[in-house]
Structure 1
Amino acid sequence: MRPRIAWFALLAITLSACTSVPVRAPLQTVELDADSQAQAQARLAAREAAVRAMPAFGFTGRVAMSNGRDGGSGRIEWVQTGADYHVTLSAPVTRQSWELRGGPGGARIEGLEGGPRAGADVGALLWQATGFEIPVAALAAWAAGTRAPEAIAGPAELGFDAGGQLARLQQDGWTIDYLEWQPEPGNAAVALPTRINAQRGDARVRLIVDAWSADAAMPAP
């Protein structure tokens, strides 16, 4: 068995042991009037400022991935500190997991057959190791209901629902649909998404966030 096939087979086994992520229809985008559009843009800007102000944040939940032929789902834990990330995907039933750690300088993945692998391009690294296309560099921003920096993902197009909530974001060829949000908090905090679908071509990532943390700590290497 070739190395990439072996790694992909192990990942598929790991994911298939986990609870699946339910599919839900995306929110409907509408054409807002000028005042409502301005309010929606201001709401988004406030969320982006709040997220950028966090020294670190993270979430735990469930994720499903597919590449048009194969796919699976698992538990996910994500910690983001600036541009650095630490991601763990696990299958509680089999107790198998893989771990990804990286940032602008490159990434390293552990837990797959054949030993750790490292590379300067996290997207290429994951594709070579698993066969899945996962937008790691931008996904934390999208998961938090914000645009990824243009230096990473280019300009973004936005779509809002009738209430002015962000319903769709298109960036770097990906379409991110926001299916569900936390209830609006009664303090200075901002609501964050709890269900997100991202798609580019045959690549799909579905995410359900069970809990957000504004003070997540990056695990030690």
Structure 2
Amino acid sequence: MSRRVLRASTVMVVLAVAGCTTAPPRPAPPLVALEQVSAEARQDEAARRAWLQARPDWTFEGRVAIARGSDGGSGRVDWRQDGTAYEVRLSAPVTRQGWRLLGDTRGQGARLEGLGGGPREGEDAERLLREAAGWEIPVTLLADWARGIEAQGAHPEVALYAADGRLRQLRQQGWTIHYRDWSGQGADGQPPLPRRIEADNGTARVKLLVDHWEFDPP
């Protein structure tokens, strides 16, 4: 084989290998304050929030993973919200255990059922869960966070949005919440909603994956 042919073959191999090389991932667009996204994105987010505010009664079904220190667990979650009142059902398929938490997002007490020794009640739902079951779940805040809005009653320290106006990171009440995935617009007019959420307060972590949303008509 001549040197000219060998050189040409070598160049072809190098080009083929270069073509198969995986291109480095593009950096994610920076997250910004809501005021910095486009006017159209702001209008879409305002319309989304107005739609949610007009429908205070809703449910979602999904999966949840909870970790606190070396302890943790996972299972199904069914959340029913009627205005400020909530009913949260947690079930662990492996152990076949189930719990039911009833309360009010205004902090007017809570009741936890399904524990050994009978139901327990307390003025603070988060404290009741922590003391009775060892779980760290920001229940009264999750009703808003799960829908992709800041919890009422406290100004968020950080609220960062993607260019499409979807909330991506929130820091509030000692928790940092990452919105990893959102659903698209529903055929029935239901706006985009969070599908995968991760919350962390430094000692506890909650991961929520929503399979289905349903809203009562206004």
For structure 2, the 5+ residue unaligned runs are: 1-27
CA distance in 1, matches of 2:34, 2:129: 42
Q: Find the counterpart in structure 2 of residue 12 from structure 1.
A: none
Note the C-alpha offset of 1:178: 0.5
Find 2:150's aligned residue among 135, 147, 158: 147
Q: Give the structure with higher Rg (CA).
A: 2
Note the C-alpha offset of 1:43: 3.4
Note the C-alpha offset of 1:188: 3.8
Q: Find the counterpart in structure 2 of residue 115 from structure 1.
A: 118
SS, match of residue 37 in structure 2: helix
Deviates more, 1:155-164 or 1:174-183: 155-164
CA distance in 1, matches of 2:87, 2:202: 26
Change in Cα spacing, 1:71 to 1:46, as seen in structure 2 (3 Å) is: same
SS, match of residue 170 in structure 1: strand
The 8 Å contact of residues 44 and 166 in structure 1, kept in 2 or not, is answered as: no
Moved over 6 A (4+): none
Structure 1 length-normalised TM: 0.77
Structure 2 length-normalised TM: 0.78
Find 1:138's aligned residue among 138, 141, 151: 141
CA distance in 2, matches of 1:43, 1:107: 35
Q: Find the counterpart in structure 2 of residue 180 from structure 1.
A: 181
The 8 Å contact of residues 184 and 191 in structure 2, kept in 1 or not, is answered as: no
Deviation string, structure 1 residues 25-59 (Cα, Å, up to 9, x no partner) = xx865237966255444433332222221141010
Note the C-alpha offset of 1:83: 1.1
The 8 Å contact of residues 29 and 167 in structure 1, kept in 2 or not, is answered as: no
For structure 1, the 5+ residue unaligned runs are: 1-26, 217-221
Q: Find the counterpart in structure 1 of residue 196 from structure 2.
A: 195
Change in Cα spacing, 1:132 to 1:92, as seen in structure 2 (3 Å) is: closer
CA distance in 1, matches of 2:201, 2:82: 26
1:207 aligns with 2:211: no
Q: CA RMSD in A?
A: 2.2
Note the C-alpha offset of 1:130: 1.5
> How is 1:97-108 mapped onto 2 (pairs within 5 angstroms)?
97-103=98-104, 104=106, 105-108=108-111
CA distance in 2, matches of 1:184, 1:175: 26
Q: Find the counterpart in structure 2 of residue 127 from structure 1.
A: 130
CA distance in 1, matches of 2:150, 2:74: 25
CA distance in 1, matches of 2:29, 2:201: 19
Which letter maps to 1:63? V
Change in Cα spacing, 1:35 to 1:55, as seen in structure 2 (3 Å) is: closer
> How is 1:24-103 mapped onto 2 (pairs within 5 angstroms)?
29-31=30-32, 36=37, 38-103=39-104
- The number of aligned residues is 187
The 8 Å contact of residues 110 and 123 in structure 2, kept in 1 or not, is answered as: yes
Which letter maps to 1:122? A
